[in-house]
Amino acid sequence: MILAAGLGTRMRPITDTLPKPLVTVAGRSLIDHAIDNLVAAGVKRTVVNVHYRGAQLREHLQTVDRIEIEISDETDRLLDSGGGIVKALPLLGADPFAIVNADTFWLESPGGDVSSLRAMADAWDGNRMDMLLMTARLDQCTGYDGKGDFLVDADGRLRRHDRVSADPVVYPGAAIIHPRIFEDAPNEPFSLNWCFDRAIASDRLFGFAMSGHILTIGTPEAIGEAETVMARFGANP
């Protein structure tokens, strides 16, 4: 699933007339970069949720032919990241599935022969995990303005960053999720943070360290920063 329903308020004035997933970086829309990452991992089908300027996004997605796309419509009510996935569950099915954010994509390490998402899928273990999050070091991120999101233990389990410990990792918005994590979820808009905390409480939140570089496009200034990194890598994601 591609989470693409956000308002993109930090991207104004660009998003005054354009949904954030259609903002362009290096000549391609953000959602096309996200789809590139999915296709590289062998994904054949995705669900995209839409809300703000959804008609524009739908029109663009109709031109995409390298992956099957279904729409989860949130036009009437924006449901946040967790609520949006719950609404889309009938389209996603009962098996584990991947999610990615429409405003974040990654560049694979030069010479790498397996996509980070494909490698993460290979590492999935439903007997131990309810959620497996892609993680990156701070020096692997451009456009991220936080101080880290999680800490990783020796077994790969994640817990919240306490803002004191060294070597935190960043969650760049890509994950594999078993739908059971949404059992008894709030019947209202809610963040995926609710799921993270539930999985942490049961020791079933794990991280997967990616080897490339994460680009987060949160502001207009982040576009140029991302394009500089892409030029340095010498290739599209």
CB 47 within 8 A of CB 1: yes
Distance CA 212, CA 193 (A): 25
pLDDT at 146: 84
119-156 residue pLDDT tens: 999 999 999 999 999 999 999 999 888 888 999 998 99
Whether residue 171 is predicted with pLDDT greater than 60 in this model: the reply is yes
- What CATH number is associated with residue 113? 3.90.550.10
pLDDT at 211: 87
Query: The whole model's pTM is what?
Result: 0.91
6-63 residue pLDDT tens: 888 888 998 999 999 999 999 999 999 999 999 999 999 999 999 989 899 999 999 9
Whether residue 74 is predicted with pLDDT greater than 70 in this model: the reply is yes
Residue 28 has which token pair? Answer: 């391609």
Other C-beta atoms within 10 Å of 221: how many? 10
Determine the average pLDDT of the residues in 159-178: 89
- Burial label for 154, CB within 10 Å (0-12, 13-18, 19+), is exposed
CA-based nearest residue to 143, from 189, 191, 87, 104: 104
Query: Domain range holding 207?
Result: 2-233
Q: How many domains does the chain have?
A: 1
